[in-house]
Amino acid sequence: MKSTSILAIVATTSFLLVPAAHAGEEEQFHPVYECIMVGTNLPADKDLEGGSEFFFVWGFMVNPYFGYQVNFGEAVVSTDEIDGAGFYELAVSFKLAVPVAFVEPYVLGGAGLGVGEGGLGFPLHAAIGFDFNFGKVLVGAEARQVWLTVDGRDLSALLVMSKFGLRF
């Protein structure tokens, strides 16, 4: 009886998941994307209180599994008027994705140029996220760790963002 139940669960799961995995294969691959990412952050420096961020992203997928993107945006890691801090970042990222139907989980990493109140820095970042692709509409979420020191001040932060955009 137990093996029959397990077999029934496996068969039902396969019946439901296999068509879902192949559902997006008839759709055309849209390699170019652009999106806006907004969210909040948790600074590594405990003296900073956190804030918000806003990024523009332009990307190109070489194939459904590998691509690169350019990010430009601002992150405010403290809104304190006396000791406020933030940075602007222009970065290049490389993206590895595993698309299954309309869901695309991914990891990415990259580096760039960061400008803070005290000067220039060279931030590194790594992220994990997922996109939902509804035809040409892209909606997703991402958690990104940015490591940046500007003029001896640690502006590193964990950025948690939502994503809205289009694919072409």
Partners of residue 133 on adjacent β-strands = 138
Domain ranges for the chain, please list them.
Answer: 29-167
Q: Give whole-number Cα distances, 40 to 6, 89, 104, 118, in Å.
A: 44, 16, 22, 22
pTM here?
0.80
Q: Each residue of 108-152: pLDDT tens digit?
A: 999 999 988 778 999 999 999 999 999 999 999 999 999 998 888
Task: Look up the CATH number of domain 29-167.
Answer: 2.40.160.20
